[in-house]
Chains A and B, each alone.
Chain A
């Protein structure tokens, strides 16, 4: 089962390697990992997408909580939540592909953020499946480069993760 784990962690040097190290040392999967400071500069928020049985995910959250730098851990996927990922994708956009590429970007509510004679760079946000769908919808030969941030998530409504 896929789980999205949100972590508030002290903004200390090495905090990221503690968490990444825990996953590799105990053989847990990391599908994606994103991290950046929060509005409180002393803390970072991390979103890890992982997969495993309920027992494994329970161990993951317990082991994360055990790390001294970790302030709070929540399994977002346990309840209503929103997830988003950002992708930047550079595609071939010569004379003959240009119009079709623009149309595809519009359909997926992407934005073209860089243009050259023969390329477009498209910015696309959504959950991971939407980004996958966009990639599938393109003619594979037109894709030059992709970069994805990995999933970020937040609880819906009154579900809040803060200190």
Chain B
């Protein structure tokens, strides 16, 4: 094992040296008492750049967006107590979507732990259920190994956030710096190769399928297996659908792509999921927003093959016939080799059926409307950015429309909080995306309610000159809440209407950005073109959209995957 050894360093110096060794480009953070020594060391060097956010939630979301769009580990640094509790939403967001983060948290000095000290909280206890792992480092001698382990654990196996809690006295204490190149843990050895016998069984099922379906999730993106997935889908000629987290893994514009599936998935994708005879699930987890009611899903018999790195994702909500635990690229590699040697079934009859479903054109909406339809804004956004932007989103109707109408042809272009559904994610995540991809076009699709949850980060955008484009679909309602209230609560719009909204144009200007109000359908495209032509400016586009528009199709909560509500237009 090669080791990097130096003379005695302080804990704070060790933290920064570890980040340098890990080639960390950006740390997203906010200083405070418990991390002052670390900030002092950050000040003395220029390899690791610090991005000062305006709220710790923003720091973690930004690190998250950085990671999602770059495949690197995102790093956040926050102080003890409120720094940590503010970061909790960000950590939980990353955990639910399996995003590799290392979150360094300050802690009160070891002698003060447990004494209700100023800005003390039980960080390890609070974050335990929302991290892949966490640790409190009580001895400076353990610090370097703890940070090494954190990066290792966060980025291997099923990725996830790791919290390293560092008491202030540990950052002041001194010891020899000894950064291991690798770390071995007897209790943590993620698998790579899938079981050969299981892969053979899968190939057998696939080669005999009459109505096959390939369903893939965030795992394909996280494991960088998009190229292999494309090869598999093209080679077999089978239909493919992606989950909300999996969009971009397979090209959104390809004919074999049925669109997103699930609660707001396409008619054809959901119908094909229910009626297929062999289902190949890759890096997806059959969650409630994807297959709806599992009992309804089980009514149609089908053989299910499930490839996932995490055994606990397999047979959790849906019983699986051929489980394959392994690293997706390794498994797909083996699978493709075996498939190549065998025969591919003729599935033209199945495609005929799928095309009939597809002909329903389930995403249709009223294009002649006099008010701006949110779907129209997304279509124009797609056109204007030529489908090549990084799109982050917040949570709600705008998120679903973005997922439906922006055709992602590349992985890591669609950045959203799928699992936790965190409003406020979009803007800070977009900051991380822009920093990870300098020069790229980055847009945050949001709504007037979501954007106000992390609005303060507009100030960070100014400080770091991040030329994001904020696409605010302003319908003066918490649209998704309103939609559920319309469908399931007798049109009683309880607390889903916001009175006294700010003037977003002035607000953007107040933060030093450009704000544009767009009220007419004819102005949508010119406004977008003008905004995206401004390469060095953040432009906040406030689109006044139809207040009553709903997201269709929709599977009501607890219903079966084919029990979709379709638009009245259909």
Chain A positions near chain B (C-beta within 8 angstroms)? 9-10, 12-14, 17-18, 21, 25, 55, 58-59, 62-63, 65-66, 68-71, 163
Residue of B nearest to A163 (CB): B186
A66 to B311, CA, bound (A): 9
Residues of A close to B300: CB separation below 8 A = none
- The chain A residue with its CB closest to the CB of B312 is A62
Starting from the known contacts A21-B128, A68-B185, A69-B187, 10 additional A-B residue pairs (CB-CB under 8 Å) come to A9-B187, A14-B125, A18-B128, A21-B129, A25-B129, A55-B315, A55-B319, A58-B315, A62-B311, A163-B186
Tell me the residues in window 179-219 of chain B with beta carbons closer than 8 Å to chain A beta carbons: 185-188
Closest 10 CB pairs of A and B: A62-B312, A68-B133, A71-B187, A62-B311, A25-B129, A68-B188, A63-B312, A66-B312, A10-B187, A21-B128
Docked Cα-Cα span, A55 to B320, in Å, equals 12
Q: What are 9 inter-chain pairs, A to B, with CB distance below 8 A? A: A9-B187, A13-B136, A14-B125, A17-B128, A21-B128, A55-B315, A55-B319, A65-B311, A68-B188
Residues of B within 8 A of A17 (CB): 125, 128
Chain B residues within an 8 Å CB radius of A55: 315, 319
Give the shortest distance, in Å, between A56 (CB) and chain B (any CB): 10
Query: Which chain A positions have C-beta within 8 A of B187?
Result: 9-10, 68-71
Instruction: Tell me the smallest distance from the CB of A66 to a CB of chain B, in Å.
Output: 6
Q: Does B430 contact A (CB under 8 A)?
A: no
- In the bound complex, CA of A66 to CA of B129 (Å): 12
Q: Counting CB contacts under 8 A, is B132 at the interface? A: yes
A9 to B186, CA, bound (A): 10
A residues in contact with B310, CB < 8 Å: 66
Query: In the complex, which residues of chain A have a beta carbon less than 8 angstroms from the beta carbon of B129?
Result: 21, 25
User: Which of B133, B185, B310, B311 has most A Cβ within 10 Å?
Assistant: B311
Which chain B residues border A25 with CB–CB below 8 Å?
129
Complex Cα spacing A13 to B133, Å: 13
Roughly how many angstroms separate A9 CA and B125 CA in the complex, as a whole number? 18
User: Which B residues are in CB contact (< 8 Å) with A71?
Assistant: 186-187
A58: which B residues are within 8 A, CB to CB?
315
Give chain B residues whose Cβ lies under 8 Å from the Cβ of A10: 187
How many angstroms between the C-alpha atoms of A68 and B187 in the bound complex?
A: 6
B124 interface residue, CB < 8 Å from A?
yes
Inter-chain CA distance A70–B132, complex, in Å, is 13
| Separation of A22 and B311 alpha carbons in the complex (Å) | 16
Cβ contact within 8 Å between A68 and B128: no
Least Cβ–Cβ distance between A20 and chain B, in angstroms? 10
Residues of A within 8 A of B136 (CB): 13-14
Write the nearest CB–CB distance from B295 to chain A, whole angstroms: 14
Shortest distance between the CB of A70 and any CB in chain B (Å): 6
Q: From the candidates B124, B132, B319, name the one contacting A68 in the complex (CB within 8 A).
A: B132
Set of chain A residues within 8 Å of B311, measured between Cβ atoms = 62, 65-66
CA distance in complex: A122, B319 (Å): 49
Distance in angstroms between the alpha carbons of A58 and B311 in the assembled complex: 10
CB of B316 closer than 8 Å to a CB of A = yes
**Complex Cα gap A25–B92 (Å):** 14
Distance from A119 Cβ to chain B, minimum over Cβ atoms (Å) = 37
Q: Is B153 an interface residue (CB 8 A)?
A: yes
Shortest Cβ gap from A10 to chain B (Å): 6
Residue of A nearest to B133 (CB): A68
Are B128 and A59 within 8 A (Cβ)?
no
Residue on A nearest B162 in the bound complex, by CB? A68
Q: Which chain B residue shows the least CB distance to A65?
A: B311
Q: Would you give the shortest CB distance from A161 to chain B, in whole angstroms?
A: 14
Q: In chain A, what residue has the closest Cβ to B134?
A: A14
What's the Cα separation between A63 and B312 when bound, in Å? 6
Map CB proximity to A onto B151-164 as digits: 1 under 8 Å, 0 otherwise. 00100000000000
Indicate the member of B132, B135, B187 with the most A CB atoms within 10 Å: B187
* Given A13-B136, A21-B129, A55-B315, A68:B153 Cβ within 8 A: yes
B333 to chain A, nearest CB (A): 25
Given the complex, which residues of A lie within 8 Å of B185, measured CB to CB?
68
Query: Which B residues touch A13, using CB under 8 A?
Result: 136
Q: Which residues of B contact A21 (CB under 8 A)?
A: 128-129
- Interfacial chain A residues near B135, Cβ < 8 Å: 12
In the complex, A18→B310 CA distance in Å? 18
Q: Would A14 and B124 count as touching, CB distance under 8 A?
A: yes
Q: Whole-angstrom distance from the CB of B294 to the nearest CB of chain A?
A: 11
Q: How distant is A12 from chain B, measured CB to nearest CB, in Å?
A: 8
* Nearest chain A CB to B98 CB, angstrom units: 12
Using Cβ atoms and an 8 Å threshold, which residues of chain A touch B312? 59, 62-63, 65-66
Smallest Cβ-Cβ distance to B130: which chain A residue: A25
Instruction: Tell me the bound Cα distance from A18 to B187 in angstroms.
Output: 14
- The chain B residue sitting closest to A22, CB to CB, is B129
A22 to chain B, nearest CB (A): 8
Q: Cα distance A9–B187 when bound, in Å?
A: 8
Q: What chain B residues lie within 8 Å of A66 (beta carbons)?
A: 310-312
Minimal Cβ-Cβ distance residue in B for A18: B128
B357 to chain A, nearest CB (A): 32
Nearest B residue to A8 via CB reads B187
Alpha-carbon gap, A55 to B316, bound state (A)? 8
Q: List B contacts of A59 (CB < 8 A).
A: 312, 316
- Tell me the bound Cα distance from A68 to B159 in angstroms: 12
Q: Tell me which residues across on chain A come within 8 A of B128, comparing CB atoms.
A: 14, 17-18, 21
State how many angstroms separate the Cβ of A15 from the closest Cβ of chain B.
10
User: In whole angstroms, what is the CA distance A58 to B186 when docked?
Assistant: 22
Closest residue of chain B to A66, judged by CB?
A: B312
Minimum Cβ distance to chain A for residue B328 (Å): 17
Given the complex, which residues of B lie within 8 Å of A18, measured CB to CB? 128
Docked complex Cα distance between A13 and B128 (Å): 13
How many angstroms from the CA of A66 to the CA of B189 in the assembled complex? 10
Q: Determine the chain B residues whose CB is within 8 A of the CB of A70 once the complex forms.
A: 187
Q: How far is the CA of A62 from the CA of B310 in the complex (A)?
A: 9
Contacts of B133 in A (CB 8 A): 68
